[in-house]
Structure 1
Amino acid sequence: MQRKITSLLACAIIIFGLGSEKSYAASEVHSDTQPIMEWSQKYGENSTAKSVSPTSDGGYVMAGEITEIDYSTPYPDSIKKAYIVKTDAAGKLEWEQKVTYANHESESSTAYKAVQTRDGGYIVTGSTDIDRQTCVFLIKLSPRGEVEWKNAYEGYYFQSGQAVLETSDGGFVTTGFSAGYATGADAYVLKTDAQGRKLWMKYYNFSGDQYFSDIIPARDGGYVAVGNVNIDEYSSGPEDFSVILKLNEQGEKVWEEFYKRADGAMRVDSVIPSGDPDQGYLILQRKWDGKSTTPILTQTDLRGKVIWEKTYDQLSKETSLGQVVRTEQGYALIGGIYDATESSIKRKYQHVILTLDKSGGLIDNLTFGGADSYALGKGIYTNEGGFVLSSVTGYSSQQKATLTRVLEPKTEPSVSGSFYLDSDEYSISVGTSIDTVAYLKDTDGSLHNVTKVATFYSENPEIAEYDKEGNIIGHRAGITYINAVYKGQTYRASVQVLRAFVPIEKQLIEE
């Protein structure tokens, strides 16, 4: 079973589709000013934090686990409980709740995600062990943290809830990791009513093993889930692919879109609605080439078709970015980097945040904290212009669930002035290419070539698109526009692609 679970957790999913892809090193753009740590608070003893969510009063709710010793029996034993913490805006503890399903000696329960509900309470999703089987665990808490109900839902040999949302009818939907014992596992979505009674639990099979990593409300009703599909049971490779799936309110499939790629493997981690209501969704995945991971952010339309892709080369092979969130400037990718010189038991982590503009262009690269971090959880962007991040500090029995709030530094261009391309209009033939140069003109008239650190994308990649070296390539006759983005400034130029020239002599011979 351990081998099976490990293989599924390690599987990586590939994304491919029509759209421009820009790749550049995240280390080329970074802030000399580190983010300001406003506060950092620790909770519990021998505890961990998996995620954090905002609350309507300006505070936060954290989900994780805590291990306590049960002295009620002649032979004291440890019990792992789901751990939920409510804080105020400064991270100070307001209440905490520790929940088990049946309080068995061998029970192990974990909370992965807690979100506030419309009645002011909280819905929590996670996992719990029942008779050597790991089941999805849902907990409903009151606004003061009292347990209103808790339910476990049996399915495959190993299932956990990692994403949860409240539905329009007052019920709840959850999904997450799924694994079988000797056979492959299907992705699942569970729907309950407001009291936690199961209405349906549906499974989805695409090929081999699969599971969903995130689920959100669809823009046009129903739900959108993203997940991983692993052909090989015990390894990741180019046969792996990812999926975005639209479900109606009854869990029936409306449409699906697969993303495949031949140059590596990739794991899909996160999906959010696009900032543009006319577009669809942003999905974040991590490409694995056998040596390191590289995040790829993809903008889709309302049916999952790729509009554009952006690739961000990470600081090092030890960097992993697994969450996309919306910010005031655009978006941010959240993750971390670990110290490879340490053993896996005492490996130190630091938080990493890439801030992006609304077109996915890189604005800033922030690495900070984590001197005693043992593991990193998920984070959020706050309306006040900062981030609240969950993590685990300390090691072994000394570890503690931790929330940290940092303020986003105000990033300005390295020099003042105007940003532009070397031309307003480009003209090329089908099958040919032309390079572009991006400049930043200082107020004193001096020019700075910023081509290597700017981001480029095409509005119609079927006509013309950018390659990884910044060249425009003509694909089909027509007119489109390309955009260059640098630290919040955007420049737009037209591209006319002409039909390839054929000499008259050749035309006569062909005729």
Structure 2
Amino acid sequence: MLRPSWKTFMLTTSLAAQLACGGAGSDSTETPEQTKGTALAGPHAVRRIDAAPLLKHVDVTALVASGVHAFVGEPTLQANALYSEGSASSIIQTSDGGYAFTGTTNVLGDNDILLVKTDAFMNVQWAYAYGTTTDDSGVEVRATSDGGFMLAGQNYQNNNFDYFVVRTDPTGAIYWQGPFGSTLQEYPRGMEVTPDGGCIIVGKTQSNLGYQNAHMMKFSATGSVQWERSFSSGADGTYEFNGVANAPGGGYVAVGSRQVKVSSTTWESYGYAAKVSSTGSTLFQISSGRFADLEAVAATSTGYVAVGYIYTNTSTFDADFYAVRLNPTTGAVTTGWPRTFSGGTRGDYLSDVQVATDGNYVITGSITPSDTQRNMRLMKLNTSGTVLWNYPPYPSDNTYGLSLARTSDGGYIVSGGYTNPSNTTYLLLSKFSP
């Protein structure tokens, strides 16, 4: 079976650590009295809890107005924010200059999809928990054209996993929501709002026999399923998608991994990408990197850059950063790519990529100095795959980056996690200058 992706592993372990060490939801013994889909308040409210060594507050608005943010070279860490509730998986900047992030919380008695809206200084304005009376978890958040939000998550009930999708207005109130799936197990990994106002979710499906197929499901703006596609080679291979992007000119490109059975006892894994039309017809499928896994993709009209990691030792699972650039028409790997980078540790993982204002690529991820340490990384590559800068070691050894968004001042916001000396994990937001 496929080894869980690094991003999935981090989300699962961070939530488990919170539940075990007094984090999300376990701080209160009161009987939950709130209705799901309403703003969290009182003992259920999301709290900001900044703590050393990550206390860093800067008036980002003042920096932007003064032009001080216009640095040359690697960015500056401008501000951090820690939050006590849940685990985070995705972040965006909102039209008012603030931020919205999604993840998972259990403050209402079982796991729910969390949506938090902050101001430009990362102070909580409101938070919602969405879901059912069974377990739900948040995977991705994106802004809609009316200023609201589209959320992709996962629902578990009756021993079955399904996609769970929520669309809200700008205040977090629900337009529509619901689980979507079949008798198979559906696991969401990435989502994008599509040009027609709907969304596309990618991930994997799994049968009761354990076979895994990479999977796409396209939704309309009103929540109806328009089409779905699976990609596999039957019992001789297992496929999954981890990220997706709208392709300039139409269609969608998704990335992930595939494992191929080469003998009765041997499997080999590869990075995997597929492009489909707006109606789901396959335009190309490619593999890149033996023992690689692709976590995210950024698409421009001249090429698609996917990032993840590649195992350099399959016995000990030593990994290096991995990036590949693909031709937007054929999927062919660009000359000079793929690129492999060592972060200096046995475990170097990239988890998200965005196109920078200058057309190059900014990437977040983590290195693992030891089995008990992680350290957030932020990198910039040009279109040839050359590293333009690599943000120096983060202020704490126990941080990681999962999701990245470009900000209106040309900088970046990264969501991830921070584990304190007591082994409690908190959501971490970090704002970087351009």
Q: TM-score, normalised by structure 1?
A: 0.64
Quote the RMSD (CA, aligned, Å): 2.9
Opposite residue 254 of structure 2, the aligned amino acid is: A
Cross-structure match for 2:3? 7
Q: Are 1:216 and 1:272, in contact at CA under 8 Å, matched by a contact in 2?
A: yes
Residues in 1 aligned to 2:308 and 2:100: alpha-carbon distance in whole angstroms:
26
- Aligned partners of 1:230 and 1:236 also within 8 Å: no
* Per-residue deviation, 1:148: 1.7
Residue in 2 that maps onto 1:245: 274
* Structure 2 residue aligned with 1:172: 199
Change over 3 Å in CA distance of 1:255–1:155 after alignment to 2: same
* 1:353 is aligned to 2:378: yes
Q: Which of 128, 139, 142 lines up with 2:166 in the alignment?
A: 139
Find out whether 1:54 has 2:54 as its counterpart.
no
Per-residue CA deviations over 1:280-331 (Å, capped at 9, x if unaligned) read 2112232112152222322222221112303322222132223222224522
Which of these residues, 345, 349, 352, is aligned with residue 320 of structure 1? 349
Amino acid paired to 1:61: A
State the partner residue of 1:282.
305
* In 2, Cα distance between equivalents of 1:372 and 1:96: 29
Cα distance in 2 for residues equivalent to 1:235 and 1:355: 42
Q: Which amino acid aligns with 1:217?
A: N
- Counterpart residue identity of residue 83, structure 1: L
SS in 1 for 2:3: helix
Q: Does structure 1 retain, via aligned residues, the 8 Å contact 2:153–2:188?
A: yes
Structure 2 counterpart SS, 1:68:
coil
Q: Return the index of the structure with the highest Cα Rg.
A: 1
The number of residues matched between the two structures is 359
In 1, the alpha carbon distance for the partners of 2:108 and 2:154 equals: 20
State the Cα distance separating 1:336 from its structure 2 match.
Answer: 1.0
- The 8 Å contact of residues 10 and 236 in structure 1, kept in 2 or not, is answered as no
AA aligned to 2:211 is: G
* Structure 1 residues 159-238: aligned runs within 5 Å: 159-206=186-233, 208-232=237-261
Matched letter for residue 257 of structure 2: N
Pick from 272, 287, 291 the counterpart of residue 265 of structure 1.
291
Q: Give distance in 1, aligned partners of 2:387 and 2:196.
A: 39
Which residue matches 1:300?
326
Assess if the C-alpha contact under 8 Å between 2:211 and 2:238 holds in 1: yes
Could you say if the C-alpha distance between residues 164 and 341 of structure 1 is closer, same or farther in structure 2, counting changes exceeding 3 Å? closer
The residue type paired with residue 246 of structure 1 is K
- Are the equivalent residues in 2 in contact too, given 1:350–1:368 (CA < 8 A)? yes
Q: What letter corresponds to residue 361 of structure 1 in structure 2?
A: T
Q: Provide the secondary structure at the position in 2 that maps to 1:89.
A: coil
CA distance in 2, matches of 1:178, 1:172: 18
CA distance in 2, matches of 1:228, 1:174: 16
Deviation at 1:405, TM superposition (A): 0.9
Give secondary structure in 2 for the equivalent of 1:371: coil
- 1:258 Cα deviation after fit: 3.0
Q: Point out the more displaced range, 157-166 or 228-237.
A: 228-237
Give the secondary-structure state (helix, strand or coil) at the position aligned to 1:183.
coil
Deviation, structure 1 residue 219: 2.2
Q: Which runs of 5+ in 1 are unaligned?
A: 12-32, 71-78, 343-347, 409-511
> What letter is aligned with 1:296?
Y
Offset, 1:367: 3.4
For residues 248 and 265 of structure 2, what CA distance do their matches in structure 1 show? 32
Partner Cα separation in structure 1 for residue 108 and residue 192 of structure 2 = 32
Cα distance change, pair 99–370 in 1 and its aligned pair in 2 (3 A)? farther
Q: In structure 1, how many angstroms separate the alpha carbons of the residues matched to 2:159 and 2:371? A: 36
The whole-number CA distance in structure 1 between the counterparts of 2:305 and 2:5 is 22
Residue 107 of structure 2 aligns to a residue in which SS? Answer: strand
Corresponding residue SS for 2:147: coil
> Could you say which residue in structure 1 is the equivalent of 2:417?
392
Aligned to 2:81: 41
Cross-structure match for 1:508:
none
Check the 8 A contact 2:295/2:350 in 1, yes or no.
Answer: no
Q: 111-120 or 54-63: which moved more?
A: 54-63
Quote how far apart the aligned CAs of 1:90 are. Answer: 1.5
Asked if residue 335 in structure 1 is aligned to residue 365 in structure 2, the reply is yes
- Asked if structure 2 preserves the Cα contact closer than 8 Å seen for 1:238 and 1:265, the reply is no
| Deviation digits for residues 215-274 of structure 1 (CA, Å, limit 9, x no counterpart) | 111223121122311124999987322332221222121232333x5xx41101121114
Quote the offset at 1:57 in angstroms: 1.9
- 8 Å contact from structure 1 (residues 7, 235) kept in 2: no
**1:300/1:169 Cα in 2 relative to 1: closer, same or farther (>3 Å)?**
same
Q: Residue 315 of structure 1: SS of its match in structure 2? A: coil
Q: Secondary structure at the match of 2:226?
A: strand
Query: Could you tell me how far apart the structure 2 residues matched to 1:38 and 1:382 are?
Result: 13
Kindly provide the CA deviation profile for residues 11-46 of structure 1, in whole angstroms up to 9, marking residues without a partner as x: 9xxxxxxxxxxxxxxxxxxxxx9853322223343x
Give the corresponding residue for 1:92: 123
Off by >6 Å, runs of 4+ in structure 1: 233-238
Q: Distance in 1 between matches of 2:115 and 2:265?
A: 34
Query: Aligned AA for 1:391?
Result: G
The answer to whether structure 1 residue 66 and structure 2 residue 109 are counterparts is: no
Instruction: Please say which of residues 383-392 and 141-150 is displaced more in the overlay.
Output: 383-392
Which residue in 1 is equivalent to 2:402?
Answer: 377
What one-letter code is carried by the residue in structure 2 that aligns with 1:287? I
Secondary structure at the aligned position of 1:91 is classed as: coil
In 1, distance between residues paired with 2:168 and 2:115? 10
Matched residue SS, 2:370: coil
Matched, 1:111 2:138: yes
Are the structure 2 counterparts of residues 214 and 226 from structure 1 closer, same or farther at C-alpha, using a change threshold of 3 Å? same
Q: What SS does the aligned partner of 2:188 have? A: coil
How far apart, in 2, do the equivalents of 1:338 and 1:321 lie?
A: 12
1:128 to 2:167 alignment: no
| Higher RCO, Cα 8 Å, sep 6+ | 1
Tell me if the contact between 2:365 and 2:400 (Cα under 8 Å) persists in the aligned partners.
no
**Contact map agreement 1:349 1:370 (CA 8 A) in 2:** no
| C-alpha spacing 1:339/1:148, structure 2 compared with 1 (3 Å) | same
Structure 1 counterpart of 2:308, which letter? Q
Deviations 1:51-89 (A, max 9, x none): 11122222211011112253xxxxxxxx11111111122
CA deviation after TM superposition for structure 1 residue 174, in Å: 0.8
